[in-house]
Amino acid sequence: MTTSAAVPAGSDGAITGGTVTDRLVEANQHYADAFTDPGMDARPVLHVAVVACMDARLDLHKALGLQLGDCHTIRNAGGVVTDDVIRSLTISQRALGTRSVVLIHHTGCGLESLTEEFRHDLEMEVGQRPGWAVEAFRDVDQDVRQSMQRVRTSPFLLHTDDVRGFVFDVKTGLLREIDPA
C-alpha cells in the first residue's frame, strides 16, 4: 500500500518517471511555486522540542496538532536520546529558547528486532566497526524511560523539569504516556 499520491507507480509497484529523488525535487518545485515566506525565525513558537523515531508512519505534526514553526523536531532510528540528540537539544534550548522536551517512541519499532550484533555484521561486511551503538531494545516503555533519564541528567541542558515520554500506537494513532519511575 502506498501513502503518497505524488509518487506514481507502475502496475508492478515500481516508481515511474524517474527516481524517487527526482519526484521529490519536482514536488518541491510545485511547493515553491506557491510558497510565501511565513516571516518566522528559527525559535519555535511553543518553545518545545520533540524527539521521535524516524519511522515513516509517524506524522508528528498531524498527530500532535502542530503547525509550521511550533516546535523543533529531532528524529532518528528509535527516537533514542543519543549524544547527537543531546547536541541538538542543547542548541535548541540554549540558542533557540525551547524549554520543554517531548519524547515519542512507537509500537512495532524496527529497533525491537535488531541487536548490537548488527554492528558486528556491518564490521564483517565493510571492514570497519561503526563508532555508534545500535541502541536496540526489547521493551519500548523502558527505552522511553532511559531516554527521559538521559535528557534529565544531561549537564548541557538548561531545562530538564518538563521532559515527558510517550509511546505512539501505530494502529490507533494514540499516545500513551510513560511514567518515568
User: pLDDT for 114-143, tens place per residue?
Assistant: 998 999 999 999 999 999 999 999 999 999
Q: Look at residue 40 and tell me whether its pLDDT is greater than 80.
A: yes
Q: Which residues have CB under 8 Å from 101's CB, separation 6+?
A: 48, 49, 50, 51, 89, 151, 159, 160, 162, 163, 164
Say what the pLDDT of residue 116 is.
87
Residue 144: pLDDT above 60?
yes
Q: What is the pLDDT of residue 18?
A: 87
Tell which wins on pLDDT, 15 or 49.
49
pLDDT exceeding 70 applies to what percent of the chain? 91
Q: Is pLDDT above 70 for 17?
A: no
What global pTM score does this model have? 0.88
| pLDDT mean across residues, the chain | 92
Average pLDDT over residues 48-65: 97
Confidence of residue 7 (pLDDT cuts 50, 70, 90): low
The stretch 135-157 carries a mean pLDDT of 97
Annotate 144-164 with b (16+ C-beta within 10 A) or e (fewer).
Answer: bbebbebbeebeebebbeebe
pLDDT at site 181: 80
Go through 109-122 and write b for each residue having 16 or more CB atoms within 10 A of its CB, e for each that does not: bebeebeeeebeee
Name which of 65, 75, 73 is nearest 92 in CA terms: 73
* pLDDT value of residue 15: 54
Quick: pLDDT tens for 69-112: 999 999 999 999 999 999 999 999 999 999 999 999 999 999 99
